[in-house]
């Protein structure tokens, strides 16, 4: 396994994902991980991430002892500068920041780049397109290091001490803009460090099943099934391991997508034979939401009630000793968060996973080590339907934040049907260039109910009915997003169908706001 130390990089998670793509297990830890812990982790190699600071004036210092462990080390950006400084080289502020594409000239003798190139120059040197983002740079290499790549503005763009297997690059191989970046990381991990590519889904399932059985023994487990990807995959995996010792509680708050409840039951109870208790709590939820218009308050009520209902159900299962949750690796990294990352709360997120300690149950989190795409792969391997596993994300408070202002049952009914039509058309319409469906080409798409009436005309009569907004975005991280450029013909069909098929709606609009300044959800 590979250890990645995070110096506060925005893209450290990408390094981990690239390594996992080579089927090598890795973990991301804060830069100040104690040396003893590093030794206990027993890494096959260490990768040092970039970071926003200057190495000569910051306290972002890893334990230099990691360079004495005899394992290969790859430093990226700040990681390179840290290595240079600690090993006796020199780091200085550049005249200006360098940000964006750069073309490096690679020295072919280096194991890291040998044979990798986007093109060659007249002299036959390999040229590589890379992504740079730095202010400081290494101006003198430590003893033992040789130059392995250069650019016009960054004469020491990469260096290596091949004897000690120390490599350092000023650019970012983990981002896709560095075209051969994944190859470089794989070469480091598999070639230079000699890690075995044994991190595969079938292996993972075997190990995870074994581990769950060992952990749980003959005790019983409960899991809050939300219909979302993470809790669904967790349920399928745990069921594979312990069968009927698992009971899922599916709380239907009445704010799910059309027919969602039936689909969940169909898939789990009938399809996989999982024990699922379905609780229809919609009346209760609607009651608590009556008269409430503030988005944050709605979120809090839905979150609180969810826990309440779940708790009530769980006391009916006195034998349960474990609470299973679909926590995934990005959640783990986020909450372990290095000091450099300050998340700013724009909306208080409620996740159905966030259940209280008062239940007095031990936590079972079998997806803690997996990235989202690995969770999906696992879901498919466990037999969950492809469409389910590759669904767009759906917020915990559900339609509660897609019905603006006060939530009412009849608004929810209209919205569910409008939303289902939109999604159906997205799934059924292909983009001619890519051949993909518009559902695949968008990251998240849904309808929003606006409690506003507008005038229309239908047949000979005047109508005065509600408005629905369509939202579709393209994003890789949900932190920023572009509105999707859906074809007019598709928008037109969706609008016609909603207005014709959903009585009570006579106007459909399309949201063309990016994030920022808008958010993806309307509340």
Annotated catalytic residue within 150, 174, 260, 425: 174
The yes-or-no answer on residue 174 being catalytic is yes
DSSP secondary structure letter of residue 228: S
Task: For the beta carbon of residue 214, count every other beta carbon within 10 angstroms.
Answer: 9
Residues 26 and 48: their CA atoms lie apart, in Å, by 13
In angstroms, the Cα distances linking 91 to 77, 81, 141, 145, 419 are 11, 6, 9, 14, 55
Q: What share of the chain is helix, strand, coil (3-state, %, to 5)?
A: 35, 25, 40
Candidates 72, 89, 366, 395: give the one binding ligand XMP (CB under 6 A): 395
230 labelled binding-site residue: yes
The yes-or-no answer on residue 77 being catalytic is yes
CB of 390 to ligand XMP, least distance (A): 15
Residues 288 and 109: their CA atoms lie apart, in Å, by 69
The contact pattern for ligand XMP, residues 140-159, with x = CB under 6 A and - = no contact, is --------------------
Given the complex with ligand XMP, which of 46 and 301 has the nearer CB atom?
301
CB of 369 to ligand XMP, least distance (A): 21
Given the complex with ligand XMP, which of 142 and 395 has the nearer CB atom?
395
Sign, Cα dihedral of 199, 200, 205, 206: negative
Annotated catalytic residue within 77, 239, 253, 260: 77
The yes-or-no answer on residue 374 being catalytic is no
The contact pattern for ligand XMP, residues 311-350, with x = CB under 6 A and - = no contact, is -----------------------------------xx-xx
Residues 427 and 406: their CA atoms lie apart, in Å, by 30
Q: Is 521 in the site for ligand XMP (CB under 6 A)?
A: yes
Residues 259-298 that bind ligand XMP (CB under 6 A): none
Q: Is 304 in the site for ligand XMP (CB under 6 A)?
A: no
Nearest CA among 483, 488, 508, 513 for reference residue 415: 508
Q: Is 365 in the site for ligand XMP (CB under 6 A)?
A: no
The contact pattern for ligand XMP, residues 477-496, with x = CB under 6 A and - = no contact, is -x------------------
Inter-axis angle of helices 12-21 and 329-336, nearest 10: 150
**Pure H helices in 243-362:** 260-264, 282-289, 295-314, 329-336
The contact pattern for ligand XMP, residues 404-443, with x = CB under 6 A and - = no contact, is ----------------------------------------
CB of 323 to ligand XMP, least distance (A): 18
Sign, Cα dihedral of 78, 80, 87, 142: negative
Q: Which residues carry a binding-site annotation for ATP? A: 226-232
Question: In the complex, which residues of this chain contact ligand XMP (CB under 6 A)?
Answer: 299, 346-347, 349-351, 393, 395-397, 444, 478, 515, 519-521
User: Which residues are part of the catalytic machinery?
Assistant: 77, 172, 174
């Amino acid at each position: 396994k590979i250890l990645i130390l995070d110096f506060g990089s925005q893209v450290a998670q990408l390094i981990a994902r690239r390594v996992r793509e080579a089927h090598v297990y890795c973990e991301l830890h804060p830069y100040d991980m104690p040396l003893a812990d590093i030794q206990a982790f027993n890494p096959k190699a260490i990768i040092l991430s970039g970071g926003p600071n200057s190495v000569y004036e910051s306290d972002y210092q890893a334990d230099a002892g990691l360079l004495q462990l005899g394992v290969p080390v790859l430093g990226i950006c700040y990681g390179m500068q840290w290595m240079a400084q600690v090993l006796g080289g020199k780091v200085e502020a550049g005249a200006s920041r360098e940000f964006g594409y750069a073309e490096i000239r690679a020295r072919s003798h280096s194991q890291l780049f040998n044979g990798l190139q986007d093109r060659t120059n007249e002299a036959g040197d390999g040229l590589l397109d890379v992504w740079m983002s730095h202010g400081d740079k290494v101006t003198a290499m430590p003893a033992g290091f040789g130059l392995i790549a250069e650019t016009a503005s960054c004469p020491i763009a990469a260096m290596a001490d091949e004897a000690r297997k120390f490599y350092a690059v000023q650019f970012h191989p983990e981002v896709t803009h560095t075209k051969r970046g994944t190859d470089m990381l794989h070469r480091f991990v598999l070639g230079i460090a000699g890690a075995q590519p044994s991190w595969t889904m079938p292996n993972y399932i075997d190990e995870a099943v074994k581990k769950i059985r060992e952990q749980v023994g003959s005790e019983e487990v409960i899991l809050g099934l939300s219909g979302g990807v993470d809790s669904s995959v967790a349920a399928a995996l745990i069921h594979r391991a312990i069968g009927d010792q698992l009971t899922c509680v599916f709380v239907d708050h009445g704010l799910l997508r059309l027919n969602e409840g039936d689909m969940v039951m169909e898939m789990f109870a009938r399809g996989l034979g999982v024990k699922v208790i379905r609780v229809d709590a919609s009346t209760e939820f609607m009651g608590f939401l009556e008269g409430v218009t503030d988005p944050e308050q709605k979120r809090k009520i839905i979150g609180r009630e969810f826990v309440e209902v779940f708790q009530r159900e769980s006391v009916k299962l006195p034998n349960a000793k474990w609470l299973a949750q679909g926590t995934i690796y990005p959640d783990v990294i986020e909450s372990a968060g290095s000091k450099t990352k300050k998340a700013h709360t724009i909306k208080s997120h409620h996740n159905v996973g966030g259940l209280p300690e008062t239940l007095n149950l031990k936590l079972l989190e079998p997806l803690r080590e997996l990235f989202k795409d690995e969770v999906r792969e696992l879901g498919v391997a466990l037999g969950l339907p492809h469409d389910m596993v590759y669904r767009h994300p759906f917020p915990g408070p559900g339609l509660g934040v897609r019905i603006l202002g006060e939530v009412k049952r009849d608004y929810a009914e209209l919205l569910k049907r409008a939303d289902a039509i939109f999604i159906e058309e997205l799934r059924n319409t292909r983009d001619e260039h890519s051949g993909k469906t518009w559902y695949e080409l968008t990251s998240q798409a849904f309808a929003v109910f606006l409690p506003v009436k507008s005038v229309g005309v239908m047949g000979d009569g005047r109508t005065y009915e509600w408005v629905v907004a369509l939202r579709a975005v393209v994003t890789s991280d949900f932190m920023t997003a572009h509105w999707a450029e859906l074809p007019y013909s598709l928008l037109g069909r969706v609008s016609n169908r909603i207005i014709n098929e959903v009585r009570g709606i006579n106007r459909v609009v399309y949201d063309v706001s990016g994030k920022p300044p808008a958010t993806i959800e309307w509340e």
